[in-house]
Amino acid sequence: MASTLHEERAACHHLPMPPRARPVYTPPGGPPAVERPSGAILEALGEEGVFALLEAFYLELERSELRPLFPPDVRAASRRSAAFFVQLLGGRPLFSEAFGPPRMRARHLPFEIDGRAREVWLDCFRRTLAAEGPSLGFPEEHLAGFVDFLEGFSSWMVNVAPE
């Protein structure tokens, strides 16, 4: 898996980035103080399960109004995101090894993300967790904490001021 992520990193350097000719909004209060999701999630799902969950999530995003924000190959994007989640859940540092420090807010700044986009993203993740979580073995006792993390994390990705 790591060699694939490294190949994807090389390909990312050739993707054009959208222009940033707009003011960037910073949510008040700075980064949210949310707890990292439990490592028991990774223990239950394993790396393969995390990758499967994120692929299902990105296929859900592909059917959403957020589709234009993602590259043509959403499966490759899902692998990058899965690498982040494996690392976040206490697993191997797949994301950092392939792409450098996560710095997720900075990575999302080129894309206009408003409160509506955040809600669509969260709804897609919630639907994916409901549909795929049980069959992948997502531990029910850690679902609420994981969703709390997603809510706080996604609030920090918002970079367009509310109207």
pLDDT in tens, 119-155: 999 999 999 999 999 999 999 999 999 999 999 999 9
Is 118 within a domain? yes
Sequence-distant (6+) residues with CB within 8 A of 144 are none
- Please name which of 85, 76, 78 lies closest in space to residue 55, comparing C-alpha atoms: 78
Residue 20 · residue 109 · CB < 8 Å: yes
Is 52 within a domain? yes
pLDDT in tens, 7-61: 665 555 444 455 557 889 999 888 889 999 999 999 999 999 999 999 999 999 9
Report pTM. Answer: 0.88
pLDDT in tens, 59-116: 999 999 999 999 999 999 999 999 999 999 999 999 999 999 999 999 999 999 999 9
If one counts the domains in the chain, the total is 1
C-alpha–C-alpha distance, residues 132 and 65, integer Å: 21
Is 148 within a domain? yes
Domain extent for 42: 2-12+36-157
- Please name which of 92, 94, 90 lies closest in space to residue 79, comparing C-alpha atoms: 94
